Amino acid sequence: MLIGTDIKLSILGNTFFLPLLLSPFIALVLGAVVYYITHTIRLCLGVTKEYCFCVGEQEKVIPIPQSDSRFSLSSIQSIDIAMDTKENCI
C-alpha cells in the first residue's frame, strides 16, 4: 500500500541523517566533559592512581545479653569495602 510517492529530503535529513551524523561527536564531547570532571574530583580528593578498592568478607562478633547476666556471642559475615594502596589490600 503506497500512500505517497514524494520524499521530502529536507525533513528526512533533519530528522534522520543529521542526528545520525552528529551523535558520535556529541558522545565524544560529553565523554570528555565527564572525564574532566571526574579527573578533577579525583585530584581534589587526593586519590592517586596507586589506590585500589579492596573487597572482602569481615566477621563481626555480636554480644547477645542473656537473662542470667551472661553474654552469648554470635558472629555474622559481612562484605567489607575499603580504598587503600595495593600493599595494604592483601
Give per-residue pLDDT as tens, 48-83.
888 888 888 878 877 777 777 676 777 778 888 888
What is the model's pLDDT at position 4?
Answer: 61
**34 is a domain residue:** yes
Instruction: Examine the domain organization and report whether 57 and 87 are in the same domain.
Output: yes
CA dihedral 71, 73, 74, 77 (to 10 degrees): 140
**How do residues 12-42 score in pLDDT, each as one tens digit?**
777 888 888 999 999 999 999 999 999 999 8
Q: Are residues 35 and 53 in the same domain?
A: no
Question: Does residue 1 fall inside a structural domain?
Answer: no
Question: What gap in Å lies between CA 70 and CA 73, rounded to an integer?
Answer: 10
Give dist(CA 58, CA 49) in Å, integer: 26
Q: Are residues 75 and 41 both part of a single domain?
A: no
Domain around 65? 49-90
Q: Does a structural domain hold residue 18? A: yes
Q: Tell me how far CA of residue 79 lies from CA of 20, 33, 75, in angstroms.
A: 45, 34, 13
Note whether residue 3 is domain-resident.
no
Instruction: Say yes or no: 22 and 40 in one domain.
Output: yes
Neighbours of 89 (CB within 10 A): 14
pTM score above 0.85: no
Does residue 2 register a pLDDT over 60? no
